[in-house]
Amino acid sequence: MTYSCLHTHTSFCDGAADVETMCRAAFEKGFDSLGFSSHAPLTRKTGIKTNWHLSDERLDEYISTVLEARKNWEGKLAVYLGLEVDYIEGLSGPANPDIQNLPLDYIIGAVHYVRVPKNGELFTVDGPDEEFCRGLEGFDNDGMALSAAYYTAYNNMIRGGNCDILAHLDLVKKNNDRFGFLSPSDFRYKKMLTETADTIAAARSADSERNPVVEVNTGGINRGRTADPYPSLDGLRLLKERNIPLVITADAHAPDHLGGHYETAVKTMENAGYRTMLLFTGRQDGKAGWQEVPLE
């Protein structure tokens, strides 16, 4: 198997190691390529302050550090520059001009934030327990209502365009193993997943500039929170029915996450009927380049 990871965090945001350390770890693990995807700055345009996003002040330094690593590792490891961009209705998204004007190889579109209907408060579905439980309470502890808000945001992000990679499709389930707020076999949940798969299929035929692909993300397994990748088998089956291609990522926040649980990702993809995956080949003529390779 050719190893790569396009979803990688460093100490520029909430990762444990710097760019150079992650490059060395990837090279030592036999990776062909490594793409960095810091959480894109949020504060200046939204007022939201967190300890897990790249700061506005360090954006230029992040870009130059990754581009320098690309030069240093040339011939040994292909290094790519990306960002993981939060979609928050009306506030932030991959289509924002401040993101589009950056010299990025690719953009990962992600929904972490959901708005509580009653008071308009934002919270993250993958955040600390206290934050998550307060958010769920805002939905009267109705996991289906929370999921509906999450997938509505996710579908709007896809329709907004400008994503190369769609991040952790069913992240809303992250805390379900522990808090049991949702039955993923419920037909209402299945319907949300199906609609999302349909929206991706439609975006792939309409958006020729940035044709979104879906990541199979082992970040939840790497951090001991989930048994399955995002998306899990039910989601992958729906994507397979629509011939939506997949790229495997670790959502790496530390060197030992790189390549972590890729065999679980492969197995789940095979169970869903996939025989191939994508490898990134860089941005050429304004488009993300992908190569389809066998899943082995």
Contact footprint for Zn ion (CB under 5 A): 84, 110, 251
Q: Residue 227 burial by CB count (10 A; 0-12/13-18/19+): exposed, middle or buried?
A: exposed
Q: Residue 170 burial by CB count (10 A; 0-12/13-18/19+): exposed, middle or buried?
A: buried
- Minimum CB separation of residue 167 from Zn ion in Å reads 5
- Minimum CB separation of residue 257 from Zn ion in Å reads 10
Nearest to 238 by CA among 285, 286, 190: 190
Residue 14 or residue 241: which is nearer to Zn ion going by CB? 14
- Minimum CB separation of residue 80 from Zn ion in Å reads 15
Residue 51 or residue 241: which is nearer to Zn ion going by CB? 51
Which amino acid is present at 47? Answer: G
Q: Residue 224 burial by CB count (10 A; 0-12/13-18/19+): exposed, middle or buried?
A: exposed
Residue 16 or residue 190: which is nearer to Zn ion going by CB? 16
Query: What is the DSSP track for 103-118?
Result: --SEEEEE--EEE-TT
Residue 77 or residue 165: which is nearer to Zn ion going by CB? 165
Residue 190 or residue 264: which is nearer to Zn ion going by CB? 264
- Minimum CB separation of residue 93 from Zn ion in Å reads 14
- Minimum CB separation of residue 154 from Zn ion in Å reads 12
Q: What backbone torsions phi and psi does residue 66 show, to the nearest 5 degrees?
A: -70, -40
